[in-house]
Each structure stands twice: as C-alpha cells, then as structure tokens.
Structure 1
C-alpha cells in the first residue's frame, strides 16, 4: 500500500499555476512517475473544463506505463473527493491529487482510489 506520494517541487508549482490559470474552471491531468517520484503531467486531451467538472475522452490518452496517478483542481476550498471523483479514481488507479482554491502548496491533498488520504512529500 502507498504510504506517501513523492512529487517534484517544480511540478507541484506548475500544477498550482495550471489550477490558477484554469480558475474558475477545473482542470485535469495524468501524472507520470519516474523512480518513484511524480515528475511530469499530461493534461487531459481535448475536452470540457467546467466550473464543477472536467470531461474528456479517455480513448484519446496515450498508452503510457509511466502514468501512475491523476491530478485535478477544485475551484472551491473543499479538498475532499466527491462521489464522481471516487468513481474516476477507481477507473485510473494509483494516487490522485486534488488542488483546491486558493491553490497554495497547503491546498493540495493526495488520495488512493479508495478515497483514503496519503501523505505528500515534496522533493527538490
């Protein structure tokens, strides 16, 4: 079982900037892992980025075994997964980051597919 997720500081800053730039809409992406550390994001391919949801065609995703998690923003300050989030998590496995308004490092939470929280370690 995953006890904590490790993410590059540079990637975390970039994700927070994405969340701010998409605000007041949500954004979603897929996290690539290298040597146990999330290092890159793939933005969800052409879809709808709305105030309360993101829709995209999962068939448009590349086959990429380095994708080990997802990330999406909540344009409100509720940093807990919704029922829809838990459904989405169950389809993609791995670790899932939620970035909540106002999009600072303390507004980022990590979850397993079950909705259980996971500690985040920021790696320089």
Structure 2
C-alpha cells in the first residue's frame, strides 16, 4: 500500500507542527482522487505536550476524510499505544510528524499501526 500526499499540504503540516511546538497538533486529512489534499482542524481541540483530544461530535460527515495527522514534539515517529487505539477508531491512513518537523521526520501508518509507503506529489 502507498499513500499519496500533495507537497503543499505536507509543507503546511510541517509548519503547523512547528507552530504548535512544544505541544502536539492533530487534524483529519481529506483525500481527492487518491491524494491527500487538505487538513481539517476540529474547533475546540485540546493540544497538549503529550496528547491531543478532539470532540468528534464536531467532525463533519465527510466521506473524503480518509486519514489523520498529528505531531510528536519529540524525535520519535513510532506510534504509541494510544495512537494505535486512535488509528483503529478512524481507519484509513495516519501520518505522524516528529520533531524536528522536516520531511525526514514524517511517516504514514495504517489503522493497525503498520508503516506504509508515502509518496509526495506536486
């Protein structure tokens, strides 16, 4: 399995991770024609140093939401047990961006927490 993400979106996500640091940030990814194109940040989210919380009742019903993204303010790309539990609730693809928030510190995972290949497209 391979996931595709628009280069501009990845650059925006890296900047969001830098802007939220030292806290985590998180959002939901919209896909169009097999490519992640947009991030949706839920209003009134909690973004802490070790966790994030979303009120999923505020998540719109949108069949184009196919994944999630969140940052780790430490240099670890490995999903935690809490991450894998969250992944299993939303299915799809889950991207983790770790400190120092550059293109080398990004990985994608499936809903079981197994790494999947990611392709950056123009």
Unmatched tracts of structure 2, length 5 or more: none
What secondary structure, in the 3-state scheme, does the structure 1 residue paired with 2:100 have? coil
Counterpart in the other structure of 2:71: 73
Deviations along 1:12-36, one digit per CA (max 9) or x if unpaired, are 0000000000000000000000000
Unmatched tracts of structure 1, length 5 or more: none
The total of aligned residue pairs comes to 122
C-alpha RMSD of the superposition: 0.6
Q: What CA distance in whole angstroms lies between the structure 2 residues aligned with 1:31 and 1:56?
A: 14
Of 7, 12, 30, which residue of structure 2 is paired with 1:9?
Answer: 7
Runs of 4+ that moved beyond 3 A: none
What secondary structure, in the 3-state scheme, does the structure 1 residue paired with 2:16 have? helix
**TM-score, normalised by the number of residues in structure 1:** 0.97
Q: CA deviation at 1:45?
A: 2.4
**TM-score, normalised by the number of residues in structure 2:** 0.98
Q: How does 1:1-124 map to 2 (within 5 A)?
A: 3-124=1-122
